[in-house]
Amino acid sequence: MFGRPIIQLKGLGKEFKTANGPVLALKDINLDIEQGEIFGIIGISGAGKSTLVRCINLLELPTSGQVIFEGENLAALSVTRQRKARQSMGMIFQQFNLLAQRNVLRNVCFPLEIAGVPREAARERAMELLRLVGLDERAKAYPAQLSGGQKQRVAIARAIATNPKVLLCDEATSALDPNTTKSILELLKQINRNLGITVIVITHEMTVIEAICDRVAIIDQSQIAEVGKVSDIFSEPKSKIGRQLIMGDAVTNVKFDHSRKIRITFDGRSSTEPVIANMILASKVPLNIMYAATRDIGGTAVGQMIVQLPEDEIDANRAINYLKSAKVPFEEVSGDDV
Amino acid sequence: MTFSPQIIEMIKTGIWETLYMTFASSALSYLIGIPLGIILVVSDKDGIYPFPVLQKVLGLAINLLRSVPFMILLIMVLPLTRMIVGTTLGSKAVVPPLVIAASPYIARMVESSFKEVDAGVIEAAKSMGASTFQIIWKVLLPEAKPSLLVGAAISVTTILGYSAMAGFVGGGGLGTIAINYGYYRYQTDMMLVTVAILVIIVQIIQEVGMKLAKISDKRIR
């Protein structure tokens, strides 16, 4: 499906020396990232994912193993050629990291200045990029005058200004609200498809992986727990951490053994209203459907359903409160009634 | 209280000499202090070009210079002063000791301004393949500009205060007038007038510095 590997990590390890002795941040990481794909790296905080992405462009020097970019071992290159290689890898950050004293246009010009592009050509290229990310009208604004989503768009324009082959995204949407996150992810996907830039996404949010990634590596306790196509890992996570990340903590820990049951009656609500799904989404509480008999009669739902609430008192109350606020008729039933 | 024309003339000369000492020393001190401040930040073990030995030695030298009381330094460097400006009297002769005292102070002020620059922004510049020099020139200096200007207002007023001490060695300026007339001859009115003028000059420098810092800062708006 994709081309040859553009980045290969071979036995990559990173050890930090701290006052309390050495800390192992990465251990024997082996990954092939293919040209043109969107590759996700997910893990909980402290798993080592930020260190991993910084090892790819040598912001952190690996203490063992190799980073091979387009067939060349980066660590073996001279400092000057390492800097050149970095210009082929754009990077965006959780905190955007724009230059606060430069306006939007000059922020996008910045990597071009570093690469030695003449002033006028740099400005033209920067305007073109600002049009691409939809911010050409804010070219003269300063970062402090922009919203978080706009700042990240400027950062993306800046990161791809030098026509890099790879874009590294370090928790790029973690400081943004869900809607802005969606639009930034769409922009990343668009850049990947239209410009053919390989994108590496570091995140702790499964939704980000789900939304745009082709393949994903799950990193846990400094090691790769599993790696594969997103669809495969989602349908059948093999590692414990994979299950935890995909199902979430809530599901794995919920007990239903001796908990309360309620009968929800459907007495003429619109059959298109997803009552149970809304209840689960709004209260963030899993439910166990024990019995259901509903029919769609001329567009209205008629019938009843018995669901079991989680044992946890607080979770159960959250679900009940949703039903009350949504004015869904229900009654609590004892175990024998069912 | 009225002053004779001669006295007024003398105060005018005093103001000129004070401003001359202050600004000449400030300019020279910044010429030395900014590079030293840059070295302090850049060569730090977590800096963009770690060189801890240099950083430690430089830091120690700066601390040593900063611990010598200015009055002592003023006398200690007399031979050097004679060598550089050819005299040990007058405003000109106060400039070398002022520069020697102020440069390490300014180096520390500059260092602290640079340390305020967001580490994330420096990391972003590195990720674009910026060289150490490009990071200093295109990131550290412009991003720290507002803070450097605030620091400059503080440093220049501090240097002004030091220059007034030069009065004890005949350095000229308002300090000399305050000491000769106010202190030795008990002419309180003369002392009050010169001190009042010094207060006004300090106010102006401080206000102008803060204004410039505010105008140049694009973070607030």
**Gap between the terminal Cα atoms of chain B:** 48
Who contacts A123 (Cβ-Cβ below 8 Å, separation ≥6)?
Answer: A105, A109
Q: Is the pLDDT of residue A199 over 90?
A: yes
Q: Is the pLDDT of residue A263 over 70?
A: yes
d(CA B81, CA B95): 8
Tokens 């220049």 sit on residue: B156
pLDDT, tens digit, 9 for 90 and up, residues A215-224: 999 999 889 9
Residue A105: closest CA among A135, A134, A150? A135
pLDDT of residue A319: 86
Domains by residue range for chain A, with CATH: 5-88+164-249 (3.40.50.300), 261-333 (3.30.70.260)
Lowest mean pLDDT among A58-72, A179-193, A250-264, B119-133: A250-264
Confidence of residue A68 (pLDDT cuts 50, 70, 90): very high
Q: Is the pLDDT of residue A136 over 90?
A: yes
Higher pLDDT, A253 or B115: B115
Who contacts B194 (Cβ-Cβ below 8 Å, separation ≥6)?
Answer: B11, B14, B174, B175, B177, B178, B181, B182
pLDDT of residue B1: 59
**Shortest CA gap B25–chain A (Å):** 29
Binary contact (B142, A162; C-beta < 8 A): no
Q: What are phi and psi of B22, to 5 degrees?
A: -65, -50
pLDDT of residue A332: 85
**Shortest CA gap B105–chain A (Å):** 26
Judged by a CB distance cut-off of 8 A, whether residue A59 touches chain B is yes
Residue A169: closest CA among A141, A204, A135? A204
Q: Is the pLDDT of residue B99 over 90?
A: yes
Q: Is the pLDDT of residue A286 over 90?
A: no
Segment of A24-28, A276-280, B31-35 carrying the highest mean pLDDT: B31-35
Q: What ipTM was predicted for this assembly? A: 0.86
Which of A83, A97, A144 is the closest to B131 by Cβ?
A83
Burial of A304 (0-12, 13-18, 19+ CB in 10 A): middle
Q: Is the pLDDT of residue A301 over 80?
A: no
Residue B20: closest CA among B210, B182, B201? B201
Tokens 């702790």 sit on residue: A204
Q: What are phi and psi of B161, to 5 degrees?
A: -60, -45
| Tokens standing for residue A52 | 């991993």
d(CA A244, CA A230): 15
Tokens 């809530």 sit on residue: A250
pLDDT of residue A333: 83
d(CA A37, CA A31): 13
Judged by a CB distance cut-off of 8 A, whether residue B45 touches chain A is no
pLDDT of residue A122: 97
Average pLDDT, whole number, for chain A? 88
Reported as type and span, the H/E element at residue B13 is helix B5-42
Judged by a CB distance cut-off of 8 A, whether residue A295 touches chain B is no
pLDDT of residue A248: 67
Q: What are phi and psi of A336, to 5 degrees?
A: -80, -25
**Beta-carbon count within 10 A of B105 CB:** 20
On whether the CB atoms of residues A302 and A268 are closer than 8 A, the answer is yes
Binary contact (A144, B220; C-beta < 8 A): yes
3-state SS class at A72: strand
What architecture does CATH give domain B5-215? Orthogonal Bundle (1.10)
Judged by a CB distance cut-off of 8 A, whether residue A163 touches chain B is no
Higher pLDDT, B204 or B181: B204
Amino acid identity of residue A108, one-letter, is V
Q: How far is CA B63 from the centre of its chain?
A: 16
**Beta-carbon count within 10 A of A181 CB:** 22
Lowest mean pLDDT among A80-94, A211-225, A317-331, B90-104: A317-331
d(CA B40, CA B63): 12
Residue A191: closest CA among A204, A200, A203? A200
Q: Find residues 121-180 of chain B whose CB sits inside 8 Å of chain A.
A: 121, 123-131, 134, 138-139, 142-143, 145-146
Lowest mean pLDDT among A11-25, A158-172, A235-249, B53-67: A235-249
**Gap between the terminal Cα atoms of chain A:** 52
Which of A83, A95, A144 is the closest to B221 by Cβ?
A144
| Tokens standing for residue A237 | 């996570």
pLDDT of residue A3: 65
Higher pLDDT, A195 or A313: A195
Residues of B in contact with A91 (CB under 8 A): 124, 127-128
Residue B162: closest CA among B81, B40, B87, B66? B66
Q: Is the pLDDT of residue B71 over 90?
A: no
Residue B64: closest CA among B52, B54, B73? B73
Which of A86, A95, A105, A114 should one mutate to test binding to chain B, selecting the residue with the greatest count of B CBs within 10 A?
Answer: A114
Average pLDDT, whole number, for chain B? 92
Higher pLDDT, B25 or A284: B25
Looking at chain A, which residue has its C-alpha nearest residue B142? A101
Average pLDDT of the segment spanning A307-321: 85
Q: Is the pLDDT of residue B115 over 90?
A: yes
Judged by a CB distance cut-off of 8 A, whether residue A6 touches chain B is no
Which of A17, A54, A93, A101 should one mutate to test binding to chain B, selecting the residue with the greatest count of B CBs within 10 A?
Answer: A101
Residue A270's region, left for phi above 0, alpha for psi from -120 to 50, else beta, is beta
Confidence of residue A337 (pLDDT cuts 50, 70, 90): low
Which residue ranges make up each domain of chain B?
A: 5-215
Lowest mean pLDDT among A22-36, A182-196, A294-308, B11-25: A294-308
pLDDT, tens digit, 9 for 90 and up, residues A76-118: 899 889 988 999 999 999 999 999 999 999 999 999 999 999 9
Average pLDDT of the segment spanning A292-298: 77
**Shortest CA gap B220–chain A (Å):** 7
Which of A87, A95, A98 is the closest to B128 by Cβ?
A87
Which of B124, B139, B146 is the closest to A93 by Cβ?
B124
Higher pLDDT, A2 or B211: B211
